[in-house]
Structures are given as C-alpha cells and as structure tokens.
Structure 1
C-alpha cells in the first residue's frame, strides 16, 4: 500500500459564513413590492434630466444613502432595484416617510420649505408602509435545490456590519503596538487612531480593512473575505470624491460619504443637507463636511487673490479625512504587506475562535515550466519566429522601425541585435535600406518620421508615411511597426500639488486625441499594419527592459507563437483527446464607461482562437475576431481592423447597450461568432475561456448559485448554448481575477499523513485546489508579484507592519531604504473554474492547462492573470486608440500585465 503523502495547505483570509459565525446577529429590514422599483426609476430619471447641467448632479441613490446613514447611526443600505432597505438600527415609519417625502419634493425641484409633510409623496408612503422586520441573519443563509449558497441580497450587504463590530471590540496587538480598530459603514474596519506618516509627518495613510461576503461554486456556505489596504489621506478636499468621517458617539462606525458635483472642490449634496436640516439634524457629519468644504473654498479664494498656494487646514489627521481617488505621487507607499495580513488572520481567529473555519485549499501543481530568460533570452528564438511565420502561411517578416530621436534609434538597434544574436556593428541601418536579421526570412528597415510621431493634432498623418515603400502590402510579407513617440504625462502616479495648480504640466496633460501613439496606431491600422511603441527606459541596470517588452508585445500583435505553447499543451483533457487536439477560444467583453452625450455605456467584444499545429514541425496559430468586423481572421489582421475603427456608434451599438436585454443580445452575438469559428476550424473540438466577473450578466450559467442546474436549450445559458449540440464547446473555463471576490493567500502549511502540522512557505506560485462540498472543484492560481519577489525588491512587509517601518537613511555608512515610502505587495490569485459540457471532460486537466497558459505569456516576462488566448483578446481592446487609459491608474498592475482594469465590466453590482 502506498504511503499517504504530505499535503500542502494554502492558508487564506477567507472563512465560512455559518450560523455559528454570525452568532445571532440581526438587522432591520424592509422588503418592497415591485412597484417601488418602477416609481424609483421615474424619480431618478426625472432628477437626472433636471440636474444634468448642474454641479449638483448626482445619482439619487447615493444622496439618500448619505442621509439614511446619518439617520440610522451609520449602518444603512437602500437598494431600490433589488427592493430592500436594511439598517443596523430600527427607523421610525414617520421619520422614514418624511425623509422620502422631502427627497421626492427636492428631486422634482420644489423648495425645501414648500414641501408639505402632511401630504406624503406616493413613493414615500409605499416605503414607510412596508413593514419593518427584525431578521436574524443566520436564518437566511439559504441554498438552492443544488445546495449552492443563495442568501437574499440584503444578507450579503449587512452580515459584515456585525462581524466588523465584533472584530473591533478589543485591541489588536501587533508588532508591539496595541492597535484600536474602528468599524466603518461598509462593514470594514479602520485603524483610525494609528495613521502611518512619512518621515516629516506631512503625509499620512492608514490601514483600512474590508470584509465582504461572497459565494464560491460548490461550497455550501458563503465565504467572508478579508482584505486590507494602505488608504492615503489627502491634505485637502481638492478633487476628493470620498470622505471618511468619525461620529461623535462612541462605538458608531466611521461613515464613508460620497461627495457630489464636479470641479476642484466637490461638496455635499444640497439635497441631503436640506433633508437633514428640515428633520432637525443640522449638526450631522454631512454638515461638518460641508463646513470644511466652505472653509477650503474661502482659503482657495484668498490664496488666489494673494497669488500663493492654498494652506492645508489640518496638519494632522482629524475627524474628517478626504481620501485619494487617484494614484497621486505620495510619500507613504501602497499596500500593507504579507505580515499584516497574517496578523489579521490571527486577530480574526482570536475573536471568532472555532467558528472561523477556512475552506480546505491544497497545492495541486507546484512546478511550472518557465522561460529560462538568462540562458535563452526574453524574446522568441529566430527559428521559432520563422516557424510561426511559415505556420501562418507567410514567407517573410519585415519590422519597420519608425523613429525621430537618436537615442531611441540606438535603443531599437540594440534591441534587434540582442534578439537576433547579431553584433552591433552589423546593424548600422541606412535610412530606408532593409537589413537582414535572420537569413531571407526576417528583415528590418528604419525611417525617421518626426512629423508622424510628435504629439499634437497633426500627428499620425498618413501623408507623412506615404513615401515608405516598406509599409506597402506584398504577398506573403508580414509587416509590423516598432515605433517611438514623445513620452506624455500618463504616469502611474500624478503629482497632486501639480494637478491642483492650473499652470502645471500635469494640469495641462496631453489630450488623448493629440497623443501621437494613438493617432499613428490608427493610421497604421487603416493599412492593416499592427504596431507597438517603445517606452521610456528608467533602468540603470544596463538591460533595456522596456525595449525588450515592446518587441515581445509586437510579436504578440503579429500573432507570433513560439515553442513554449507546445510545451504546456500536454494534458489529456478527455479520452483520446489532449490539449493539443483542441482549439482554445478566449472571449473578452468590457463595458466602456459612458462618454459625454451617450445615454448608455457601450460594450467592447474581442475574441481569439488558439489553433493547434496543422502538421508536424509547425507551430500554434492565433485567430482574432472583433464585434466591429465580425469575421475570424489571422490575429494581426483582426487586431489591425479593430484598431482602424472607432468603438461603434449609431444603430450597431443600439443592440449592444449595457442592459439586461442588451446583455442577451451580446450573448447571442458571441454565439454567432462561435458558430462561425466552428466552421473555420472544421468542427474541431474547442473550449471557451471568459472572465466570469466581467461577463456574468451575459450568461446565467456562470453564476455560482446556478451551478448544478441545466439551462434550457436555445437560451443564453453559457457561451455557445444557443448553437446545435455538435457546435458547442466541450467546456467553458471561467476565470476571475477580481481581488474583491477572491481569497488572499497568506502562507502554506504542511500537513503530514499522521496529521502533524508544520510551517510551510511564506509565499507560493502554485495551482491550488479548493476542496468543495460536492461536484467539481474550484482552482486558485496563486502568484507572487514581480515587485515583491524581484531583484532588489527586499520583500517589504514580509516580517513587519508599517507601524514599525524604517524611514531610511542617506547618511554615509548608514544607508537604509525608506520602507515607509515604498510600495508593499502581497500574493494575488486567479480563480479557475471549469464547467464541462460533456461528462468525459477532465476538469482538472483543463484547470492545469489554463494555469500553464497564464505562466507562459506571450507579451510579458512573468505570469499574467489571464491565459494566453484570453490575454490576447483583452490586449486587442487595451491597445485600441479609444481605450480609456486613465482607468489604468485604478489598477496598478493592469498596465504592467497588459490587462484592462476590472472597473469596466458587465458584472452585477
């Protein structure tokens, strides 16, 4: 008999939400009739139409939430779409009716003093007449017939209120400090009294923990997920969208308040202030915040008149704390570090004892074949590029280098020499004269085109490159452009003081429609040519990593696939069927935020298909598809044609608007694309990979509470479900990289066969299997960020919290890094969940294949959060000239990994 092996458990900040954990916690609930939803929609539409040209324009939902939190001590959540109002304390019927009557009158444009409270509005009467009931949360941890967790929406919004209160009742002893935690109005907690300063105490951040209740497939209990961040305080209210405010009464939660209006200094909604004042609450925290706003505006006016900088009103964190909404340059770094997270787990277990039960998660695959960068280099070998070209039906690759500054011309020459193993003196290109890089198969040609590449309204003109013969199409020749442009100020972090000064460079940031990168990319795409741009080099290491990454991404844009993909397609995914016998399709769907004049957001759809080699010795190939062209083509052609067009306007987008009905139309459009793919690949078996968070509104079968159910034929249950059986994918692979929905890994633990538990590793890059309660498992691909584990990173936060961080020293002989200023990183995860369409599909094999395809990325040195085919589909969108690059700042890893941020998606609220 084989000896039982030692298991490696992944420890995470996640705990089963059981009745024992909730321990009798109760809230006060009003569940409304459907008519309330219709009445609310009318009110909201009327209000937004009336205020769309004023600074007071703000969704009524947030206005009423601000007011209700003041009326109920901080814990209140109103959802007119899902038809409930839940509060931590009971609220009087008459007070609630008066509140909504005042609110309805103000939205209609009435003066606050003219609103008759003896004649309540119809909506106010319906809300107040709805019975208020005390509900014990544990009684509503309900499940579906398939035993999936399916609690009512109000449970998810309120369960963490009570848990955060219990967690913060006692001090947290960590790193020799007794830290007092305060609950907040969102069910999280804040180290309010223990901020993290910079060395000169001119900037502050503080630890803010979040606690959310989420479900996972085939686990019968919801999970409570913990996370934490270093939340940065602004010195003033300038550009602040959110303010945290401490209440006067002890034990009350810190209240998060959303600011209204636009401009440099936003304000509290006038409606909220008037409602509270009329109800006799003219000393609320909202009034205190508005007084702060008024004081800062007065100081700004005085500073402007005196031609000086405005002075901050507070030099130390006070009871009102505006929060940074952008990644401004800051002297306290992002992130809390791994030690903080492990200590938070210890605190949670101390408070909740045996009721704090983590799901069982165990390492399944620990060894991944990686690119040997030191021995083999970062870029594909020339023979692999040649093999990929032949597999694509091409005979020659021509790399056209467009430049206008000598320094970048030199960087391109060095980059090509390194990629193709050529001595530098062999690459001294004469303008417009091709140079062979690899026999007769790959060549390069240089052209200086400053007018085409310099930023401004005249950049990107087709006339400026019309003379370049190398850009003209030739049969069998694949053309890619490697270019430079002037570097615009689209940095990851912006200087806050500079932005606040109207004459500053940051305030006069380059308009996107003047950015030569986007303008020239569009012009080249109109000629069916893909392009990538070299980034500024900031490294002193001697290796020009930005130049290498630009080449790598250009090869990805061209659809070049080297032998690394062959190496990972090794799993048998069904009897007689390996991963290399199957086409793997990735579908990317993203909601583009509304632009001025648009009534609804528009939806971007791109897709790719990774096709196996057609003959021995050939390579994998990549097809592309976009909703603007709707034809499967070689990836480089699909990408160029997508970039050559605007995001659709007019009639086409009417069927793609972001509504439930529009979502079904999108799902059917994607099924039509899959039907065409089936014909294109001659009915080979195929899989479909999607981001489950971004697309769950399109396909009901992706939802956790729908697992174990079977969708009716012909419906948009899963991708391809409206197609005939023989044309459907053999499996749908749902990935999720949204941090708010995934458990944070903190360490591994060894469990021997005899049950002995020993310490494992502090970090892990393994694929782990969640032991589910029934049906198919769920997988977590854990990743240590490059910034944490890379050369010189120092693994900041591995053994201490920011309360004991070193401010550093520049004194000779005592040089020390400023730990407080540096960013601290933690592990992240990608969830992989396989939904098979046929019973003989091995879900474990497909999960491992997906993990390997994340590790062997086409356009990055390390692991990406998406597998190759979904990453390539996502990148088509990210490179589009009209993509909102300002959104990247909200996800610091997004641009590095070449992935669109999760803020734009089709997920449920």
Structure 2
C-alpha cells in the first residue's frame, strides 16, 4: 500500500497557493483598446481573391492561427495569444522585433501577399502598436495572495500561465504506477440453497474468496512530459495492441495493431465559491492518436529538447483537409528554426494528400494506417471505433493524487469535502438484497432479479387525473413484427397485474389497468423516411385511435423508427446535410406532425445499424428485463406526458425538513444559444422553463408545467412540448441588442417574463419557489452566478444584466423574488474529480478494500460565507460488464483480449470504455431569510437521484432535466445545437 494513502484527498482539487509558484516569473503584454480594435478589423480582412481561396472558418482564424503557431515554435511553446488580443503571456521573454516581424507578415497575408512579399512590407501600424506595447514582468505570487473573506481576483492570463508552472513541477519526478492484487482466504463453498457443498467423496469443498486488495509490490515508473496546453503526456509510454501484448501472441490486423493512445493529465485553474484561493482541477484522460493529419483538428509535436513542452498546435483548413499553418512554417523556415520538425510535418502532409488523390482517382475511400509513434501525433477529432477505449480508470486517479502529494509535499493543500449526513430514498432499480435461496428460486422461475423502474399503475392514473384527464391511452405505431412484440413485452412488464395483452387486432383497445389502455396499429408508410410522403393522408386511417383533443382521454404515441441510411454528398457542408437529413428523417417529420395535432411521442429503433460493411439487422426481442431501449422509450413517453409518480414526494419527504421542502415550487430554466446561421448572424437564444408543483393535499400527485417565449404562458408540460415542437426555432432572427452581452440580457428578460407569469398566475400567495439553472450555460445572463461576485451582495448598476433570475426591475419584474437560486454545474473541467479511496485498510497486512466510488452528497469546506455541495455520480454503465476494469489496473496493464468462437472469447479490456465518477455541483445563492441552504442542497440532490423518466440518477434535478429535454427532443435540435452538444465533432479526449 502506498505511503501516501492516508493523506489522499477526496477530490483532485488543489488550492493554488502562492507557495506553488514561488519564484516563478511570467511575461505579459496587455494591449490597449485601440490595438484590439485594429486587430478586430484585421480578422476576416483581405482582398476578394484572398477571401475566395479561404475556407469560411479560415477567414476568421487566419491571423490568430498564424501568429500563435509561429510564436509557439519560436519561443518553445509556453506562449498564449488571446484570440481577441487582450493579452500575450509567456514564460520566456519575447522581443519586440519578433512581434513586429510576425504581425507584419500576418497583415500581409490578410492582403493576399505571399511570404516573400509579406516580409518586405512596411511595418503596418497595428504591428508596430503590438510590438511597442511594453512587456511587463510579474512575479506570479503577486496575484495569488489570499484576502480573508474575498474571492480571488486573478487576471485572465494567470489562468493560462499557472497550469504551465504546475505541470512543469509535476513532470520533474517520475510517475509511479502499480496494480492492485487481491488478498484471498479459503472459505467453505455452499450450494444455491445455502447448504455445504460436498465433493464426490463427501468432503467439504473450499474456494478462495477475495477479502481485500493491496498494492502490487512490483511498482514501475512512467515519465510524463509537460505540454503547451498546461497538462502532461506520457509521451514515451503509449498503450495499444502493439504495446499491451498477450503472452499467447494473439494476432490482429495491422490497422488495429497500429492504433495507440497516450495518457494525459490535465491541469486547469478555476475558482470555487467562497474559497479564497484559486483552485487547480486535476484529471486523467486517454488521448487517442489519429491515423492521419489531413482529417485531424490538432496535433502534438515533440520538440526534441529537454525543458521544452510537447507542442500542441491546431491544424487549419486547406480545402477539405487540414494541415499545419503553412505560412507560419514558411516564416519559421526563413528564421532558420530547426527545419527537421518542419520537414517532417511537410512530408507527412504531402504523403497523406497524395494518398487522398490516388484514392479519389480510383473512386475508393482512403485508408490510413497509423504510423509508429514518432515526433508528430495528430489527435482523433471524434470518438470513432478504436483499439483503445476512453477513460483512464479510477485507479489512475488515485495514482495521480499520490503523485501530486509526493511531488509537492507540504505545498499540496487540498480543498476538503465531507459527506453530507443524509440518505437517499431507494429507487425501484436499486439492487435488491435477497437470500441465496430466493435468488435461486427467482432464476429458476424466470423472474427478474431487479425492477425496471416503471411507476405503479395507480400512480400513473393519479397523475393523469391531476392533469384533468380520466384515461390514458398509449397508441403504438409499428411496422416490424419484432418491434410490435418488444412493445408488448415492455408493457407486460410495466403492468404485470393486468390482463394478458395477447395478440390484439389493429385498433383493438386493450386495458392494461383501470384508466390505462393501449392500441396497436401498423403504420409503416406514416412512419417511413422521406420528405415526399403525404402524412396527412396516411394519418386518416389512424385517426380513430386518437381521442379528440377536447375529450377526457390523454394520448401518448409510441412509434417505431430506424436510423436513416443517408450520407453526405460530395462537397456538401455539414449544416446543409443536417437540414437535408431533417427533411428526410421520418422521426423528425412524425414528431412535428403529431405535435401540431397536440400529441407527444417517443421512438424505439427497430433496426441495428450495420458496421464494417455489414448491413443493418432487425432487432429481435431480447430476454425479459434486457430490452432497455424499449423500457427507456416507454419511461420517456411518461415523462413527455408529464406523468409524475410518488417517488419525488417520498424523496423530498425523506429530509428532516421535508415538510418545508415539499411546499416549494421547483422551477428549472434551460438556456442555449443556437449556432450561427448561414448568413453569419446569431439567432435568438432558446429559453425553456419548467415548474414542478406540489399537490394541494398531501399524498396527491405532483404536476409539472412549462413556459416558452412562443407560448408566453405556463401550460401543462405535455401541452408545452406539443406547442414547442410544432413550430420552428426562431431562425435567422436577431434580437435588438447590438452586442453579445445585450443579447444575453434580452434572453434573461424572457426569463423574467416567465417568472413574473409564474408568480402572478400560478402561485398561491404563501407559496415560495426555487429557480434552478446551469451556471455554466447561463453565466452570461446573470452576474450573481459568477464566482468572483460571491464576495459581494450588491448588483453592478452599470451592467444591463440582472443579478439573479427573478431579480429584474420594472413592471415586468416578478412581484416576488425566488426563495433561492440553485446554481448547477456539470462541466467536466469546472467540477472536482473524485478520488476513489479504500473504505478501510490494515497497516499490518496492507489489506484494503477495492477502491470505493462514493455516490453521496459532499459538502465543501469553504473559507467564508456559505458552502457548496458536490453530488458524485456513478454512471449506469460503471456497474455493467467491463465497467469496473479501471479499479485495479491502469491502461498500461489492460488485456487486449482474445477473439474466436464464443466460448473462447475474452474481454478486451484495452478497447472497453472505463467509466469514471462524474460530479454535479449544487450551490444555493440568493437564499431568502429563513430558508435552509442545507435543505435546498439535499432536495436538489434527491431530485437528481429520483428521476421521472430514467432508471438511474441524472446530472440535473428533475425540473432542469425536463426543461433541457424539451429542447433536445425538438426536430431541429441537431442542426442548431452548438458543436459541443452535438457529439459528431467530439473533443479529442
């Protein structure tokens, strides 16, 4: 067991004290407003010929990319140029002539000049102004001196430079790795009924039982090198099929064998509420190396010299492919920089382009084989199928904590977290404890060992009646018999005490429980893909199954679909393809069609997409309890209908102040800025609000209502979904504000309208309400959400934005402020990473339990003011097959497995994803007098733990989750969402 185990922190959240950067200097140029204005004019400039040769994205990024790439190579890597030219920061001095030289050429490039012409250009005023901006030398400790009772105030460039310094320190010593080995003891084996297990001679059979774990004494050392982003990379220690060898020398194809990845440690400086120091968030990642540069977005480059970081550089578009900024390389070559790296870069790009051209001539798809690990390693732009899975494993996080404690010693001061003393109401899907005899009998009888999470029929009926209906009818539309059978099987599990569904005829209403029925219809033409289908005509044969909108019957529609086999055309842009897909995809069309008639729907895929050249296959009905896709679709349909069972009421009542928590209305605000449209303008922000209402009488059903600007009033959640999905997003329309800040202020004004309507029309005079927002998504809307403002309680009257939601002024402001605003945060680089620790250990035997991942609510030990809480979440897949692989080994020890016949196959530990603990930050702000913060944090955590349409914990509490889901289900969401939310262009890690 490691000597540092006893001092391990609960999270990888390090206080950035002055001692960590003692003696470190940094060099900064702070550019005046006049220089920034000239820089903005330069971006996107150039003559018509130059513009025509550039990709639309490059017109904006050309000056920035050229200057930054040049400065990185010229100075060794520790340099950052702010995109808006607010500052230039580096760990080494940059002389004026270097800046004058590069920015003279940047201006020349924007005018369409080549490098030979640009270097002879007279120095433009903007280049002269940049070079003449004085370079200031600062001691880093100057900006890290804590002030009692105040949030830290650091200039923006410190958040870039400090990770460089911390990474360099952590790279000074080798990283120790080991695996955990089990400690076993012999115990008497038992039969399934609990009786002793005997061998053929009547002797007791014994087996080895794992009673603990200990560190393998065979420890190894790994060297990490700092990178220019402020992280560390195990450059000389990749993992992949070529490196993680099996003893039996299992052979794989060369393309798979060549694929490899690297371990990367991230170091990010942020702030936390009411902590007087900035904090360093540490984490471990798997960086997967791409087979080529022409389709990568960035690359790592080894500079071949001690003391220089691994250089991370963005690749710029050159037509339909990417390459290192060619103009920056030309300038560096002129300056007689080390041309070996430049030649390697150019040779790699040239070779890959030749391969593309040869494949195009033959009409083939280009096939790249990953080269051996060399000085150039492009990063995967998205999470494709790969020989190395994502996630470093939880043991790696523990090793990282040990490494930080070893290197920094007493200088390593951690933010402390303690477990909040509370319990969560059990969920239907939680593992049930049962005696071995009961388990054996249930298996023999073919019964499930767990619950799916379907709400009881009587609670569904109560929720339907609370919304003003007498009956719920589920209309199942299908076109494959297997999908129909899967729907029947799912409904049979959801209503186990009802009469058998059997084989109903088309349109036959089958009663599942009192007040709940189902109808099945084959509707292949209505559900099919294609934009030329007359769905109005096709729907006429189904109309009898749908109740009149004025009747007392609530209708939910469960539809079959499949992923359309639609591919991009040659030269087709992404947005154009997504628009064409939207018009072709039957799921989008059916959702819109039904929404216009006032009905909500959910979909189940009936076909499994093909891969590796194989065709798609029909999904056969799995064994009972295994068809999770169908079960989740049915639960999602309940959520869309606003069906809320008693789990939420029981969960909230669980708290010692449950009565107080149970009287509040919980409002969730979802805000999102749509991507730019084809004309380059910003569209309106998407605003969706939901409110979860307690019943008037204890024991009755909770209800949920929603608000959008298009509707302008609070309506039942089901009705809001139909109205929202029936219309387009507000595309190609700007607000009246001229600046981005003003447009966010307009979005916040929509929220004030929603809250005003809530207080005026929906709340009783004595009712309080709580507003829940994603602080990361909404930080531009309300200044009171910012960490830097937590030391202050007064608004900035010069800022057009309101302090917090519900704090607006004027006649449209709410008459009553919220009882509290709950700021949520789930951004991976802004929440602490949990360190799995042993539950207990024995110093004599070094015995400890397997690394334990906590799913409890933790309270931060803050320095002043009020605390914040972190809810650690164990993902659903973490407990699935292969989900715990990273508990006892690191990726370096992962087994690539063995293929072959089904009985001979082995788990491919290397390729499997290793799930890690995620975190949700809960921070109550603007809390009214007399309202208990701890009660609010606990209630929020319980609303994450108990969901209305998921069998496990969600990242957001119910109201915020429901508000976001309303937007995610919109037919146009995929083509209007920002890239980070679409998933197609995932990050490289």
**TM (normalized to structure 2)?**
0.83
Residue deviations 1:172-202 (CA, integer Å, cap 9, x gap): 2213332121111100011111111126422
**Residue 449 in structure 1 maps to residue 492 in structure 2:** no
Contact 1:750/1:758 (CA < 8 Å) preserved in 2? Answer: no
**Counterpart for residue 661 of structure 1:** 742
Aligned ranges for residues 560-599 of structure 1 at < 5 Å?
A: 560-570=643-653, 578-599=660-681
**Counterpart for residue 913 of structure 2:** 823
Contact 2:15/2:414 (CA < 8 Å) preserved in 1? Answer: yes
With over 3 angstroms needed to count, the CA separation of the structure-2 counterparts of 1:343 and 1:638, relative to structure 1, is same
Contact 2:21/2:140 (CA < 8 Å) preserved in 1? Answer: yes
Contact 1:27/1:89 (CA < 8 Å) preserved in 2? Answer: yes
**Residue 850 in structure 1 maps to residue 940 in structure 2:** yes
Q: Distance in 2 between matches of 1:901 and 1:247?
A: 28
With over 3 angstroms needed to count, the CA separation of the structure-2 counterparts of 1:794 and 1:379, relative to structure 1, is same
Q: Distance in 1 between matches of 2:783 and 2:484?
A: 52
**Counterpart for residue 648 of structure 1:** 730
RMSD: 3.2
Give the Å deviation of 1:889.
Answer: 9.6
Give the Å deviation of 1:540.
Answer: 5.1
**Counterpart for residue 780 of structure 2:** 697
**Counterpart for residue 13 of structure 1:** 12
**Counterpart for residue 245 of structure 2:** none
1:184 pairs with one of 208, 227, 234:
227
With over 3 angstroms needed to count, the CA separation of the structure-2 counterparts of 1:181 and 1:305, relative to structure 1, is same
Contact 1:607/1:626 (CA < 8 Å) preserved in 2? Answer: yes
Aligned ranges for residues 466-505 of structure 1 at < 5 Å?
A: 466-467=540-541, 468-471=543-546, 472-488=548-564
Contact 1:370/1:855 (CA < 8 Å) preserved in 2? Answer: no
**Counterpart for residue 315 of structure 2:** 259
**Residue 635 in structure 1 maps to residue 717 in structure 2:** yes
**Counterpart for residue 395 of structure 2:** 339
2:877 pairs with one of 768, 784, 787:
787
Give the Å deviation of 1:577.
Answer: 6.4
2:808 pairs with one of 722, 736, 741:
722
2:74 pairs with one of 67, 71, 78:
71
1:554 pairs with one of 616, 637, 642:
637
Q: Distance in 2 between matches of 1:139 and 1:65?
A: 27
Give the Å deviation of 1:770.
Answer: 0.5
2:511 pairs with one of 433, 436, 449:
436
**Counterpart for residue 128 of structure 1:** 131
1:872 pairs with one of 937, 942, 962:
962
**Counterpart for residue 288 of structure 2:** 232
**Counterpart for residue 3 of structure 1:** none
Residue deviations 1:129-162 (CA, integer Å, cap 9, x gap): 1111221111112567951011110001110111
**Counterpart for residue 94 of structure 2:** 91
Q: Which has the higher mean CA deviation after the structures are superposed, 594-603 or 147-156?
A: 594-603
**Counterpart for residue 739 of structure 1:** 828
Runs ≥4 in structure 1, deviation > 6 angstroms?
7-10, 498-503, 507-510, 571-574, 749-752, 757-760, 811-814, 885-891, 900-903
Contact 2:692/2:704 (CA < 8 Å) preserved in 1? Answer: yes
1:402 pairs with one of 457, 474, 477:
477
Contact 1:211/1:224 (CA < 8 Å) preserved in 2? Answer: yes
Contact 2:96/2:131 (CA < 8 Å) preserved in 1? Answer: yes
**Counterpart for residue 971 of structure 2:** 881
1:797 pairs with one of 868, 883, 886:
886
**Counterpart for residue 490 of structure 2:** 415
Q: Distance in 2 between matches of 1:107 and 1:814?
A: 62
Aligned ranges for residues 172-251 of structure 1 at < 5 Å?
A: 172-175=175-178, 176-198=219-241, 200=252, 201-251=257-307
**Counterpart for residue 600 of structure 2:** 530
Aligned ranges for residues 77-156 of structure 1 at < 5 Å?
A: 77-79=80-82, 81=84, 83-115=86-118, 119-141=122-144, 146-156=149-159
**Residue 685 in structure 1 maps to residue 761 in structure 2:** no
Q: Distance in 2 between matches of 1:460 and 1:868?
A: 37
Residue deviations 1:350-396 (CA, integer Å, cap 9, x gap): 11111111111011145311222356641111100100011111111
Matched residues, number: 873
Q: Distance in 2 between matches of 1:413 and 1:73?
A: 64
Unaligned runs of 5+ in 2: 1-5, 179-218, 243-251, 430-448, 607-618
Give the Å deviation of 1:601.
Answer: 4.9
Question: Secondary structure at 2:45's aligned position in 1?
Answer: helix
**Counterpart for residue 765 of structure 1:** 855
1:672 pairs with one of 753, 758, 762:
753
Question: Secondary structure at 1:581's aligned position in 2?
Answer: coil
Give the Å deviation of 1:401.
Answer: 1.0
Q: Distance in 1 between matches of 2:367 and 2:954?
A: 44
With over 3 angstroms needed to count, the CA separation of the structure-2 counterparts of 1:744 and 1:393, relative to structure 1, is same
Unaligned runs of 5+ in 1: 1-6, 491-497, 904-909
Give the Å deviation of 1:885.
Answer: 7.1
Contact 2:427/2:946 (CA < 8 Å) preserved in 1? Answer: yes
Give the Å deviation of 1:45.
Answer: 4.0
**Counterpart for residue 467 of structure 2:** 392
Question: Secondary structure at 1:721's aligned position in 2?
Answer: coil
Q: Which has the higher mean CA deviation after the structures are superposed, 443-452 or 818-827?
A: 443-452
Question: Secondary structure at 1:12's aligned position in 2?
Answer: coil
Contact 1:646/1:882 (CA < 8 Å) preserved in 2? Answer: yes
Q: Distance in 2 between matches of 1:19 and 1:778?
A: 24
Q: Distance in 1 between matches of 2:330 and 2:533?
A: 51
Contact 2:77/2:228 (CA < 8 Å) preserved in 1? Answer: yes
Residue deviations 1:456-498 (CA, integer Å, cap 9, x gap): 22358233213322334232221111001123469xxxxxxx9
Q: Distance in 1 between matches of 2:110 and 2:391?
A: 41
Give the Å deviation of 1:696.
Answer: 0.5
Question: Secondary structure at 1:27's aligned position in 2?
Answer: strand
Give the Å deviation of 1:269.
Answer: 3.1
Q: Distance in 1 between matches of 2:45 and 2:98?
A: 24
Give the Å deviation of 1:615.
Answer: 2.5
Contact 1:40/1:80 (CA < 8 Å) preserved in 2? Answer: no
Q: Distance in 2 between matches of 1:186 and 1:552?
A: 43
Q: Distance in 1 between matches of 2:96 and 2:554?
A: 71
Question: Secondary structure at 1:834's aligned position in 2?
Answer: strand
Aligned ranges for residues 250-399 of structure 1 at < 5 Å?
A: 250-261=306-317, 264-281=320-337, 283=339, 285=341, 288-305=344-361, 310=366, 312=368, 315-365=371-421, 367-373=423-429, 377-399=452-474
Question: Secondary structure at 2:321's aligned position in 1?
Answer: coil
With over 3 angstroms needed to count, the CA separation of the structure-2 counterparts of 1:367 and 1:573, relative to structure 1, is closer
Q: Distance in 2 between matches of 1:297 and 1:424?
A: 65
1:513 pairs with one of 566, 571, 583:
583
Residue deviations 1:333-354 (CA, integer Å, cap 9, x gap): 1111011111111111111111
Residue deviations 1:399-434 (CA, integer Å, cap 9, x gap): 111111111111111111221225784342221232
Q: Distance in 2 between matches of 1:224 and 1:194?
A: 25
Q: Distance in 2 between matches of 1:629 and 1:142?
A: 51
Q: Distance in 2 between matches of 1:178 and 1:772?
A: 36
With over 3 angstroms needed to count, the CA separation of the structure-2 counterparts of 1:9 and 1:620, relative to structure 1, is farther
Question: Secondary structure at 2:228's aligned position in 1?
Answer: coil
Q: Distance in 2 between matches of 1:24 and 1:350?
A: 20
Residue deviations 1:252-304 (CA, integer Å, cap 9, x gap): 11111111126653123344334434545483856643432121111222344
With over 3 angstroms needed to count, the CA separation of the structure-2 counterparts of 1:686 and 1:459, relative to structure 1, is farther
Q: Distance in 1 between matches of 2:384 and 2:505?
A: 43
Contact 1:836/1:843 (CA < 8 Å) preserved in 2? Answer: no
Q: Which has the higher mean CA deviation after the structures are superposed, 684-693 or 107-116?
A: 107-116
Give the Å deviation of 1:749.
Answer: 6.8
**Counterpart for residue 51 of structure 2:** 51
Q: Distance in 2 between matches of 1:48 and 1:562?
A: 64
Question: Secondary structure at 2:746's aligned position in 1?
Answer: helix
Residue deviations 1:520-565 (CA, integer Å, cap 9, x gap): 1111111111110013568955421111110000000000000001
